[in-house]
């Protein structure tokens, strides 16, 4: 647990969340600001700040996050139509909460690519 981490506080039930699933490794809850008809997050119980901080020993947990996403998408009824899982990393990735989380977005068709022309970063930067 990291003292100032929002998602550690949600894991510890210090801050409420609209939970969908929980086990000893992960918690899934609805995103407070949904960007699709279905938008929930899957987070590990273990505090891991960013994708860059995932260690070899965390590989099973990260796989379990993805599997949990797929099981919940099926339970919620949008797995066959399709959905997107996203894990943002650091500033360019758009990360705002520094405890890794898998976004699961579904319920309507999505576009690609996920950035705007004006935000494109020149290759040399
Ligand atoms: P990211 O920008 O990838 O770090 O995603 C953080 C996500 O956490 C955003 O989609 C927020 O809407 C979501 N979020 C922030 N606070 C809460 C909260 N208390 N409960 C549920 N979702 C939250
Ligand atoms: Zn945390």
Report the CATH number at residue 97. Answer: 3.30.428.10
101 is catalytic: yes
The answer to whether the CB of 12 falls within 8 A of the CB of 1 is: yes
Give the tens place of pLDDT for each residue, 64-121: 999 999 999 999 999 999 999 999 999 999 999 999 999 999 999 999 987 766 655 6
CA–CA gap between residue 22 and residue 26 (Å, rounded): 6
What is the signed CA dihedral for 46, 26, 19, 2, rounded to 10 degrees?
0
Structural domains of the chain, count: 1
**CB neighbourhood size of 92 (10 A):** 10
pTM of the model: 0.93
Ligand nearest to the CA of 9: 2
Q: List alpha helices for the chain, DSSP H.
A: 6-11, 59-76, 90-93
Q: Which domain holds residue 23?
A: 6-106
113 domain residue, yes or no: no
Ligand nearest to the CA of 4: 2
Catalytic residue among 38, 39, 101, 103: 101
CB-defined site of ligand 1, < 6 Å: 6, 15, 17, 29, 31-33, 88, 94-97
């Amino acid at each position: 647990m990291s003292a100032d981490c929002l998602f550690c506080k949600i894991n510890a039930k210090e801050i409420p969340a609209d939970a969908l699933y929980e086990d000893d490794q992960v918690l899934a809850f609805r995103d407070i600001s949904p960007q699709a008809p279905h938008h929930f997050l899957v987070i590990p119980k273990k505090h891991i700040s960013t994708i860059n901080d995932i260690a070899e020993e965390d590989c099973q947990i990260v796989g379990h996050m993805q599997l949990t996403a797929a099981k919940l998408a099926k339970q919620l009824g949008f797995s066959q139509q399709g959905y997107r899982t996203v894990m943002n990393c650091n500033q360019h990735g758009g990360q705002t909460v520094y405890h890794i989380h898998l976004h699961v977005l579904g319920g309507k068709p999505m576009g690609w690519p996920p950035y705007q022309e004006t935000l494109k970063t020149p290759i040399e930067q």
